[in-house]
Amino acid sequence: MAFQHTTGSQSSPGSGIFPVLVYVQGNEQRNIPLDHSPFAVGRKVDKDLVIADPRVSRDHALIVSENGKFSVVDQGSKHGTFVNGERVERRTLERNDRLEFGVRDVAYVIFNPQHATSNTAREFLSQISGMHISTETTDLEKLTLFLEAARKLNTIGVLDEILVTLLDATLKLTRAERGYVFMKTDEGALRLAAGRNSKGEPLLDDTTISHSILDEALKSNSEFVLTDTSQSLDLAGRQSIVAYDLRTVICIPLRKPQVQATRDAQAPPSDPSAEVMGALYVDSRFASRDISSVSNDILRAIATEAASLIENARLVQAEEAGRRYQQELSIAASIQQKLMAVTIPEVPFARLSGKNLSCKEIGGDFYDAVNTEDGLTVVLADVSGKGVSAALLASTLQGMIYSQIIARMPLVEIVAAVNRFFTHKHLGEKYATVIIARVSRDGELEYVNCGHIPPLLVCNNEVIRPTHGNLPVGLLRDATYESDRCSLHPGDRVVMVTDGVTEAENARGDFFENERLEAVAAKNGNLDDIFAAVADFCSGTPLSDDCTVVELVYTGQP
C-alpha cells in the first residue's frame, strides 16, 4: 500500500490557510491542505488523495465545498466511505471527523482537527480571500470571492479583524503597496483604524501618507479618487508626495450605505460629507509597482462593498454591545433581588410577615425588618419611578436605613438623615415614600410616616387610619419629620401597604382604594387574603405598579 498526494506542498497544522486533512497510515502522518473543490479520493493516480489499496475504488469519493461547508460524497465505491465509523453516502464534515475509504483502520483521514487552525474570523477570511487563484481568474472574479467573504462576515462582530481583512483583500485586488483604513470618530476627526502592507505586516504610522489627498477624497462626491502623481504636475510639489516618493494613491471614501429614501419629504437633502464613515487609502511608491491601471470597476465595487461591510460590522457590534448590556442588567437585577431579600427576625412578642409583587423585574418597592434591643423595626418604602433608576435608589435607601436602625438611631433622625442625603445629591425628581415602624417588647409602637399611605391599625376587627404623616424623603431639603406613637394590645395588627395596592386598577379603570383594603384588612386573615382580594378586583388587568404588604402582629409578652 502506497500513499501519495498530488496537491503541491505540504502545510503543517496551524499554518491555517485551508482546512487540513490529516492522513494517517500506520505510523505515518501527513497534512494535506483542502485547497480546492471537489477534492477527489481514490485508487487512480490522478486523484488528489491516492490510496493504492485494492479495497479502495478507483473513483472512491469526493470532498466538496458548498456554502463554506465541506461534505464527503461517496462515488458508489465497493467497500464504502465511513465517517466516524458510520457508512455514508454523503455527509457534511465537522472538525475532527474521522474518514475512512474502503480500508478500515489501516489508513484514515481526520478532517481539519481542532489544533490545526484557530477559528477566528481572520483565519476564516484568509481562507476565502487568500484562496489560491489561478492566473486566468479575472480581477472581478477575485472580487466576487472577496464579496463572498464579506457576506459571511456579517455574522462576525470583530470590526478590527474585518478592517485588516478588508485591507488585505484590497491590497490584493489593487496590487498596491500599503493600505490604511481610517474611521471617523464621534467628533468627526479621522482616526487610523488599521494599516497593512502588501506583505501582510501591520502599519501603525500614518504620517507618511498623503493627508491632503485623503481630505480631498472625503470632500469630493466621487466613489474613489485615483491620483497618479507622475501625470499631475501640481500634485508633485506636495510635501508627503515628494518626501515619501508616492507614485499612485487611491482613496475611497466609505459612505454609509443608503438604506431607503426617507418618508419625510421635508427632510433637507443630506450633505455627502455627513455620511462618510471613514476612508480606505492605498498607495504605492515610485520604486514599487504601478497601481494606476487598476480598473474603475474594481475600485467602485470595493467602495460600495467595503462601506456596507463596515456598516454591517458596526451593526453587529452594536447588537453585541446590546446583548452584553442586557446581561449586565440581569446580573444587576439578581444582585438587587438578593440585597432586597428579607430575613424576618423571630421575636417572642411579635409576628411579622411581608409580601412583594413586582410588576417589573426590578422594582422600587422594598421592605425590611431589623431586630434591636429597642424592638422589632419594620421598614416599607416605595421609590418614585420604575426600573433601574428606582432600583438603584431603593438599594441605597435600604442600606442607609438598615445601618441607622442597627446603630439605634431615633426614627425621625433616620428619615431626616436620608432626606438630607438624597436632596443633597440632587437626584432630580427622585424621592421615596417611607414608613418605619418599631414595636417594643411592651407593645409601644413608634412609627414615622413619610408620604406613605397611612398604616392600618387593626384592633378587634376595627380599622383605625391615623392622620399622622410627613413629607416624602428626597423631595424638599428643609423638610422636618415627626413620629407618632400608640400602644398595642396583644392581637393588634399594623398593616402597611404601598400605593400599588390601593391604586391597583381593574379593566374599568377603577382603583382598589382604601375602603376595599380596610374591609379585607379588618377580617382576621393574612397577607394572602389581601393579595387575593386585589387579584379578584383586578380580574386579569395587569398591575401597573409594585404591590407590597407588610403585617405586624403584636402577640404580647410571653
**What single-letter DSSP state applies at residue 524?**
S
Integer angstrom CA distances of residue 454 from 465, 469, 470: 6, 7, 10
CA end-to-end span of the chain, whole Å?
96
Check binding of 43 to other proteins (CB under 8 A). no
Residues 488-517 as x/- pattern, contact with other proteins by CB under 8 A:
-----------x------------------
Indicate whether 452 belongs to the interface with other proteins (CB under 8 A): yes
Q: What single DSSP character describes residue 438? A: E
* Smallest separation, CB 435 to other proteins (Å): 11
Q: Is 131 in the site for other proteins (CB under 8 A)?
A: no
Give yes or no for residue 81 binding other proteins (CB under 8 A).
Answer: no
Which residues lie closer than 8 Å to 336 by C-beta, 6 or more apart?
362, 391, 394, 395
Name the residue nearer to other proteins (CB basis): 168 or 382: 382
- For 66-125, the DSSP string reads ETTEEEEEE-S-SS-EEETTEEESEEE--TT-EEEESS-SSEEEEES-TTTS---HHHHH
> Does residue 471 belong to the site contacting other proteins (CB under 8 A)?
yes
Window of 2-10, 109-117, 222-230, 426-434 that interacts with other proteins by CB under 8 A: 426-434
Judged by CB under 8 A, the stretch of 29-37, 43-51, 187-195, 430-438 that binds other proteins is 430-438
Please answer whether residues 553 and 378 qualify as being in contact, where contact means their C-beta atoms are separated by less than 8 angstroms.
no
Residue with cell 392581637: 491
77 contacts 57 by C-beta, under 8 angstroms: yes
**Does residue 431 belong to the site contacting other proteins (CB under 8 A)?**
yes
SS3 334: helix
Cis peptide before 38 (omega within 30 of 0): yes
How many residues in the shown chain lie near other proteins by CB under 8 A? 21
CA 137 to chain centre: 40
511 secondary structure, DSSP code: B
Does residue 385 belong to the site contacting other proteins (CB under 8 A)? yes
Q: Select from 248-256, 306-314, 448-456, 533-541 the region that touches other proteins (CB under 8 A).
A: 448-456
Buried b (16+ CB within 10 A) or exposed e, 12-27: ebeebbbbbbbbebee
Instruction: Using only the alpha carbons of the chain, give its radius of gyration.
Output: 38
Answer yes or no whether residue 483 interacts with other proteins by CB under 8 A: no
Which residues does 92 contact at the CB level (< 8 Å), separation at least 6? 69, 70, 71
Among 469, 484, 488, 530, binds other proteins (CB under 8 A): 469
Closest to other proteins by CB, 221 or 467: 467
Q: Does 382 bind other proteins (CB under 8 A)?
A: yes
Task: Give the nearer residue to other proteins in terms of CB position, either 150 or 543.
Answer: 543
Decide if residue 472 touches other proteins (CB under 8 A): yes
Q: How far is the CB of 541 from other proteins (least distance, A)?
A: 15
**Binding segment for other proteins among 177-185, 333-341, 355-363, 469-477 (CB under 8 A)?**
469-477
Verify binding: residue 454, other proteins, rule CB under 8 A. Answer: yes
Q: Which of 168, 446, 545, 551: binder of other proteins (CB under 8 A)? A: 545
Interacting span for other proteins (CB under 8 A) from 179-187, 293-301, 354-362, 428-436: 428-436
Q: Which is nearer to other proteins, 202 or 466 (CB)?
A: 466
Supply the minimum distance, in Å, between the C-beta of residue 410 and other proteins. 20
140 sits in which H/E element: helix 139-153
Residues near other proteins, by CB under 8 A = 382, 384-386, 428-431, 433, 451-454, 469-472, 475-476, 499, 545
